Amino acid sequence: MGKQVDQEPLGASAPARPLARRGIGQADTEVKLPQGLLGGQQVRVIAGPCAVESREQILEIASFVKAQGAFGLRGGAFKPRTSPYSFQGSQQQGLEWLALARESTGLAVVTEVMDPAMVGMVAECADILQIGTRSMQNFPLLRAAARSQKPILLKRGMSSTLEELLYSAEYILLEGNTQVILCERGIRTFEQETRNTFDINAIPALKRLSHLPVFADPSHGTGKSEYVAAVARAAIAAGADGLLIEVHPRPEQALSDGRQSLDFERFASMMGQIRRIAAALDRSL
Amino acid sequence: MGKQVDQEPLGASAPARPLARRGIGQADTEVKLPQGLLGGQQVRVIAGPCAVESREQILEIASFVKAQGAFGLRGGAFKPRTSPYSFQGSQQQGLEWLALARESTGLAVVTEVMDPAMVGMVAECADILQIGTRSMQNFPLLRAAARSQKPILLKRGMSSTLEELLYSAEYILLEGNTQVILCERGIRTFEQETRNTFDINAIPALKRLSHLPVFADPSHGTGKSEYVAAVARAAIAAGADGLLIEVHPRPEQALSDGRQSLDFERFASMMGQIRRIAAALDRSL
Amino acid sequence: MGKQVDQEPLGASAPARPLARRGIGQADTEVKLPQGLLGGQQVRVIAGPCAVESREQILEIASFVKAQGAFGLRGGAFKPRTSPYSFQGSQQQGLEWLALARESTGLAVVTEVMDPAMVGMVAECADILQIGTRSMQNFPLLRAAARSQKPILLKRGMSSTLEELLYSAEYILLEGNTQVILCERGIRTFEQETRNTFDINAIPALKRLSHLPVFADPSHGTGKSEYVAAVARAAIAAGADGLLIEVHPRPEQALSDGRQSLDFERFASMMGQIRRIAAALDRSL
Amino acid sequence: MGKQVDQEPLGASAPARPLARRGIGQADTEVKLPQGLLGGQQVRVIAGPCAVESREQILEIASFVKAQGAFGLRGGAFKPRTSPYSFQGSQQQGLEWLALARESTGLAVVTEVMDPAMVGMVAECADILQIGTRSMQNFPLLRAAARSQKPILLKRGMSSTLEELLYSAEYILLEGNTQVILCERGIRTFEQETRNTFDINAIPALKRLSHLPVFADPSHGTGKSEYVAAVARAAIAAGADGLLIEVHPRPEQALSDGRQSLDFERFASMMGQIRRIAAALDRSL
């Protein structure tokens, strides 16, 4: 009675080992940015608000997370929202504010692109293009983003298998862009206490199946700020190469995802905990 | 411990009743095509291959399903595939073959569009634009497809809630396009005997929550041809306005989804069964 | 990357074809009761309250459903409840009331047994022993119930695969009790509009994989009375041999499951619909 | 469109705060055994084979895990198996071998009880009674086990919510037995690379919602020995009070669950890693 989730005859052009799969003895791929490497000895933290809300907001957050040791700044300018009535993001204006924040802090900027036609515009501002969970199987977008030659942070679809995630990475790699970071962000299950179920198994599984760097997003993976630090520690303990963390100075006023955003005090505390866990694995922050 | 799947403050612009929701006593919306109505007294069957493979293939199928009483012809020209190594569709050529099949049979053509930049080209050939399960939350695509003013067949995301499906319909309706057909096509669960779990509850639930026509795709909903007729009967019995059925003259040679495609004999048999179930609900085919 | 849900080396004693599996050309098994057959040409409806609440309640319901054409009376005396603070059932007293209702109506009584030690007591009153969804893999209970030589209505675990359901039936069959009825009652998924997701695919799949009668419980399968009739029609259209329906004269006052119970008017209406669907499949009620 | 997983009016006897819930400022409950505390400053590891296979096997394993710093010995004598043709355990004989292993090593013995009628026999041998994942809602068993006054290790149902787990604990606590250990062991999802999805969110969630000790079973939570150490580290990093680990000297020869069992070398390596993670949280092993 076994099944395959998606039963497809692979074309004659399919290689014995897809590009995203780790060969025997193959070393980890490192993604290279001016600010440093992703996927190496150092654990990297990319932090920031769910949505870029204003110039002041993003500069305040960037400056704080930089001081705490963050490597990158996350922030959505174009926001994919379930409802068309929800805040859709600050859009082009938001990209400009992100660029300002990079200039003032030196942080690597990570932001989402949703539309193939927008890749050029977003790539001008971003150091890393994020493909969001709802876009993991948006194949025209994967190809367009890949061609920008920017590093791609590829988030797992909220109901995608690890095999499907690796095939989506393959779309990018086949365009000649080898700078792909895989990101576990929680999957949809029956559990009701948390927004998603962070799939901790995915961390060692992806590290074994693939040579690409693996990040974790415990903010979406739990959906509640009180659980973020614990799951962040767990992800690093399991072998993740970095974290994506939602931070907001006043979470209760955030235009989106306030429920899962850490305030500054909690973020600082989490960074201290992560430092200790990383050290227990002979890694540093 | 209750949760909301996606916890978003709706904007100030959100209406008390979204456009996709049925108002008290509101009648069913009918989608109007030159070939007839969808969502009215008649049950409609849209049938055809997973992928348009050749001129001969699509003409043979179109002619057969027309003779059996089908209303429309389905067939993928641009195929969203999990793996980049799988057959990606016959693309522009496929669209031309579909146009030929319409000319020769008068069937309404339904085909998928994956990329906002392709909407114009696909709309030239198609009578109904299909938004596939992987694209249900591709918001730029929803908006671009809506603006074509073609009717839209919106398939439920394979792990989307009914609420999310209705919000995706809302993106289309807000562009002023009221010709939307909702389609249940099976959801992802733990069960292994079938490819997806057809959510039969979705049929009465969508008919109650919304005024839009509701179709069912038992081919993807089961993934095995031996279960398609039974679930097709069930969907009509539950109140669906129509069916999407994969048909192939030689399923074992199909370039995709052969496992779930009906051959001609099985399709003819299913049509007879559907006719009887429809009659038991005072509907006709 | 395929997996098996439960990876177990079967013992040397495992037969090539388990007893619950249908052999090539094997006819349907019929379960024989003094009141008639289950699994034959006739569709059977077993109706009644979630919980037996009082002598008057069960007699009122039994009399009504009998008049509408029901074959059996369901009603819980021992109730498995998530919370120890919820109503646990009328217990021995409830069994006596069920026996009274049988005497006065001739309906076959179906009631749940939860504890191996209680099998004898429940079997004295019941015509069919129900194994509830939470007990599907309670192996000592399966064996004890089987040894009573009463027919067993085996409900699918709310997160069990069809394969697991058939293995649980195997525990009963191996005790020499061949009178087993399989029952689909909805599975746990991410969907929030309904309490469970009724797995309509399970109906044709179980009929194909096994020779045992297959029943459907659309009350638990939807959790909302407004969807019960549609899913009942669907289940019969898909080939189910019978239905389990929760009925209560005043659902809003029910001690449990009122939200999914049909009142008398809705039950009568449903029976009329089922009659028509059954006729469309050349079956009768 | 919100739902409640199980919609039950609680009885009039329901307290404002169930016994399993943590009150404001309430300290952690510690489970006291002659061998030491569970739920205190020390992280505890309970290790052993899936099934007790022979006197020699259990003594060899017990002696090894004791030397590596384990606190307890796990091993199934009565095995709940999906198929009646699978190995059902060494039963009473197995209990005797477990008792021998305790005498020779001083380890606390944890073993499963499946049948209310067997509680007395199992409690004579075991220091901790395990309620397995398939029995989490076997309410007669919960009550019978509670009355033995032995500590109870309560495993989460493989598709149970955390709320349901806490209500099952409530059944035990209401019998006056306060010695309950909650155990996360992986839930059933759509993912195919692993046998279950270990719900890491459950660790901080249970620690917040309840005062009871929380254990983790990464062997069942992953189903593959190559992922066990990473998820064991993660669970401790997230705040778990202990681990349940399957160990077998020759996993490829194990009568059950060999695929997820650590061999001696891997177990020793895991213990070293856990020691370092525990230290990073100011705990010891």
The pLDDT tens digits for B141-196 are 999 999 999 999 999 999 999 999 999 999 999 999 999 999 999 999 999 999 99
| Residue A93: predicted pLDDT | 96
| Residue C123: predicted pLDDT | 97
- What is the percent of chain C where pLDDT is above 90? 93
**Rg (Cα) of chain D, in Å, rounded?**
18
- CA atoms of D42 and D285, how far apart (whole Å): 5
- CA atoms of C237 and C280, how far apart (whole Å): 8
- CA atoms of D40 and D193, how far apart (whole Å): 34
> Does the CB of C269 have a partner CB in chain B at under 8 Å?
no
B256 pLDDT tier (thresholds 50, 70, 90) = confident
Nearest CA to C119 out of C103, C93, C142, C139 is that of: C142
Rounded to whole angstroms, the maximal C-alpha distance in chain B is: 58
| Residue D257: predicted pLDDT | 85
Residues of B with Cβ-Cβ distance to D163 under 8 angstroms: 1
Are the C-beta atoms of residues D106 and D66 closer than 8 Å to each other? yes
Nearest CA to C234 out of C205, C265, C210, C198 is that of: C198
State the sign of the Cα–Cα–Cα–Cα dihedral A220, A225, A231, A232: positive
> Does the CB of D8 have a partner CB in chain C at under 8 Å?
yes
Strand segments, DSSP code E, in chain B are 31-33, 36-38, 44-48, 72-74, 108-112, 128-131, 152-155, 180-184, 214-216, 242-246
Q: Do A189 and D192 touch (CB under 8 A)?
A: no
* CATH of segment(s) C41-186+201-280: 3.20.20.70
Residue linked to tokens 């319901």: C61
CA A224 to the chain's CA centroid: 18
Residues of B with Cβ-Cβ distance to A190 under 8 angstroms: none
CA B236 to the chain's CA centroid: 14
> Does the CB of A208 have a partner CB in chain C at under 8 Å?
no
Q: Do A234 and D230 touch (CB under 8 A)?
A: no
What is the average pLDDT value for chain A, to the nearest integer? 95
Locate the domains of chain C by residue range.
41-186+201-280
- CA atoms of B125 and C74, how far apart (whole Å): 56
Please tell me what DSSP assigns to residue C51. Answer: B
Burial class (CB in 10 A: 0-12, 13-18, 19+), A57: buried
Residue linked to tokens 């993807």: B220
| Residue C230: predicted pLDDT | 98
| Domain spanning D41-80+90-280, CATH architecture | Alpha-Beta Barrel (3.20)
D72 pLDDT tier (thresholds 50, 70, 90) = very high
Please write the tens of the pLDDT for every residue from B265-280: 999 999 999 999 999 9
State the sign of the Cα–Cα–Cα–Cα dihedral D82, D84, D90, D92: positive
Q: Do D161 and B1 touch (CB under 8 A)?
A: yes
| Residue C151: predicted pLDDT | 98
Residues of C with Cβ-Cβ distance to A3 under 8 angstroms: 2
| Residue A4: predicted pLDDT | 42
Chain A: closest CA distance from residue B244 (Å): 19
Question: Is the CATH code 1.10.10.10 the one for domain A44-280?
Answer: no
| Residue A245: predicted pLDDT | 98
Among D159, D163, D189, the residue with its CB nearest the CB of B1 is: D163
| C-alpha torsion C253→C257→C263→C268, nearest 10 | -160
| Residue D2: predicted pLDDT | 39
> Mean pLDDT across the stretch D122-142?
97
Q: Give the CB-side neighbour count of residue C178, counting CA atoms within 13 A.
A: 11
Helix, coil or strand: residue D157: coil
In whole angstroms, how far apart are CA D226 and each of A156, D62, D190, D195, D218?
22, 22, 20, 13, 11
C228 pLDDT tier (thresholds 50, 70, 90) = very high
Please write the tens of the pLDDT for every residue from C19-76: 999 999 999 999 999 999 999 999 999 999 999 999 999 999 999 999 999 999 999 9
First CA to last CA distance, chain B: 46
> Mean pLDDT across the stretch B215-239?
98
What is the average pLDDT value for chain B, to the nearest integer? 95
Q: Which residues of B109-146 are buried (b: 16+ CB within 10 A; e: fewer)?
A: bbbbbbbbbbbebbbebbbbbbbbbbbbbbbbbbbbbb
Q: Do A203 and D163 touch (CB under 8 A)?
A: no
Residue D86 identity (one-letter amino acid):
S
| Cβ-proximal residues to A266 (8 Å cutoff; 6+ apart), any chain | A225, A228, A229
Please write the tens of the pLDDT for every residue from D18-40: 999 999 999 999 999 999 999 99
- CA atoms of C101 and C56, how far apart (whole Å): 10
| C-alpha torsion C6→C11→C17→C19, nearest 10 | -90
Are the C-beta atoms of residues B239 and B207 closer than 8 Å to each other? yes
Please write the tens of the pLDDT for every residue from A73-109: 999 999 999 999 999 999 999 999 999 999 999 999 9
Chain A: closest CA distance from residue D283 (Å): 13
State the sign of the Cα–Cα–Cα–Cα dihedral B17, B22, B27, B31: positive
Helix locations, chain D, DSSP H: 55-67, 91-105, 119-125, 139-147, 162-173, 202-209, 218-222, 225-238, 264-280
Please write the tens of the pLDDT for every residue from C69-112: 999 999 999 999 999 999 999 999 999 999 999 999 999 999 99
Residues of B with Cβ-Cβ distance to C222 under 8 angstroms: 201
Strands A36-38 and A31-33: antiparallel
| Residue C160: predicted pLDDT | 98
Please tell me what DSSP assigns to residue A118. Answer: G
CA D138 to the chain's CA centroid: 16
Chains B and D: how many Cβ contacts under 8 Å?
Answer: 18
Nearest CA to B119 out of B141, B91, B95 is that of: B141
Q: Quick check: ipTM above 0.90?
A: yes
Chain A: closest CA distance from residue C227 (Å): 21
Which chains have at least 3 CB atom pairs separated by less than 8 Å from chain C?
A, B, D
Are the C-beta atoms of residues D195 and D226 closer than 8 Å to each other? no
Strands B36-38 and B44-48: unpaired
| Residue B13: predicted pLDDT | 75
| Residue A14: predicted pLDDT | 83
**Rg (Cα) of chain A, in Å, rounded?**
18
- CA atoms of A229 and B197, how far apart (whole Å): 36
| Residue D7: predicted pLDDT | 45
Q: Is the pLDDT of residue B89 over 60?
A: yes
Among B1, B4, B189, the residue with its CB nearest the CB of D190 is: B189
Q: Is the pLDDT of residue B49 over 50?
A: yes
Residue A42 identity (one-letter amino acid):
Q
| Residue D9: predicted pLDDT | 52
Burial class (CB in 10 A: 0-12, 13-18, 19+), A126: buried
Q: Is the pLDDT of residue A9 over 60?
A: no
CA angle A246, A250, A256 (to 5 degrees): 55
- CA atoms of D274 and D237, how far apart (whole Å): 9
Nearest CA to D68 out of D90, D45, D52 is that of: D45
> Does the CB of A43 have a partner CB in chain B at under 8 Å?
no
> Mean pLDDT across the stretch A140-168?
98
Q: Which helix (H) or strand (E) holds A74?
A: strand A72-74
| Residue A13: predicted pLDDT | 75
Helix, coil or strand: residue A220: helix
| Domain spanning B42-80+87-280, CATH architecture | Alpha-Beta Barrel (3.20)
> Mean pLDDT across the stretch C173-197?
97
Please tell me what DSSP assigns to residue C36. Answer: E
Residue linked to tokens 């049909």: C262
DSSP for D167-225 reads HHHHHHHTTT---EEEEE--B--S--SSSSB-BTTHHHHHHHHBSS-EEE-HHHHHSSH
- CA atoms of A4 and A119, how far apart (whole Å): 33
Q: Is the pLDDT of residue B2 over 60?
A: no
In the structure encoding, which two tokens stand for residue B110, read together?
Answer: 């339904």
Chain A: closest CA distance from residue C116 (Å): 30
| Cβ-proximal residues to C182 (8 Å cutoff; 6+ apart), any chain | C154, C156, C165, C166, C169, C206, C210, C212, C213, C214, C215
Nearest CA to B251 out of B280, B223, B215 is that of: B223
| Residue C11: predicted pLDDT | 58
Please write the tens of the pLDDT for every residue from C121-168: 999 999 999 999 999 999 999 999 999 999 999 999 999 999 999 999
> Mean pLDDT across the stretch C164-182?
98
